[in-house]
């Protein structure tokens, strides 16, 4: 992965995930029952996470275009996430596109709590955007990356730390398969800019 990104599996997935990057495009493969697995444990997540730890995430956004979600399950999904830590029951907020079950705004307000979700119609290709002003999270979708529509209503958290992991998620919706999805146009106001140093001019 390019600087400053890392990748890891979150939760007890059956198949090890992976992620790659080429010329602005992330190709991410993840297994897992879901984010969360509403049918089994709404307080646990199973996913592949491409992420950056950011010390202060209380004023900004992350967005990406989900160009493709592999058909491993109707609930296979790819999206963007702000997550307090890498434990399976961490509190988080996520905006995602499912393979054929719509677009979601999913959040867990409190470590170990049950996650809740809001779903609207839509399939890839689609842009998703997640914002965090202070402790209020909002999720949006777009067809062109310019005009945005809310996915559900905003959600205000009670205890999420300002330091958090932000990034891209993929989950197959079926722990027996790896879902390979493609995301591009990834931008975030949280990320540091990798710039060359400025050198002081050397006198004659």
Can you list the domains of the chain with their CATH numbers?
6-188 (2.60.120.200)
pLDDT above 60 for 195: no
- Across the range 74-87, mean pLDDT stands at 97
Measured CA to CA in angstroms, residue 37 lies from 31, 43, 49, 158 at distances of: 12, 8, 16, 23
pLDDT above 80 for 72: yes
Strand segments, DSSP code E, in 56-135 are: 59-68, 77-83, 92-98, 103-108, 116-120, 126-133
Computed over every residue of the chain, the mean pLDDT equals 94
pLDDT above 90 for 37: no
- Across the range 111-123, mean pLDDT stands at 95
pLDDT above 80 for 117: yes
Least trusted range by pLDDT, from 10-19, 66-75, 93-102, 192-201: 192-201
pLDDT above 90 for 178: yes
Inter-residue contact 121 to 141 (CB < 8 Å): no
């Amino acid at each position: 992965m390019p600087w400053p990104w890392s990748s890891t599996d979150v939760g007890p997935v059956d198949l090890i995930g992976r992620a790659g990057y080429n010329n602005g495009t992330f190709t991410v493969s993840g297994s897992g029952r879901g984010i969360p697995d509403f049918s089994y444990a709404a307080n646990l997540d199973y996913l592949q996470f491409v992420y950056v730890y950011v010390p202060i995430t209380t004023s900004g956004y992350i967005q990406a275009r989900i160009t493709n979600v592999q058909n491993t399950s109707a609930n296979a999904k790819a999206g963007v996430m702000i997550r307090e830590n890498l434990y399976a029951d961490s509190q988080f907020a996520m905006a995602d596109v499912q393979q054929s079950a719509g677009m979601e705004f999913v959040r867990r307000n409190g470590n170990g709590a049950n996650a809740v979700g809001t779903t609207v119609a839509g399939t890839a290709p689609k842009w998703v955007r997640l914002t965090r002003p202070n402790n209020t999270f909002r999720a949006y979708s777009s067809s062109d990356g310019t005009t945005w529509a809310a996915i559900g209503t905003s959600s205000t958290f009670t205890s999420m730390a300002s330091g958090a992991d932000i990034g891209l998620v993929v989950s197959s919706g079926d722990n027996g398969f790896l879902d390979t999805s493609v995301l591009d146009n990834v931008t975030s106001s949280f990320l540091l800019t990798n710039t060359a140093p400025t050198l002081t001019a050397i006198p004659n």
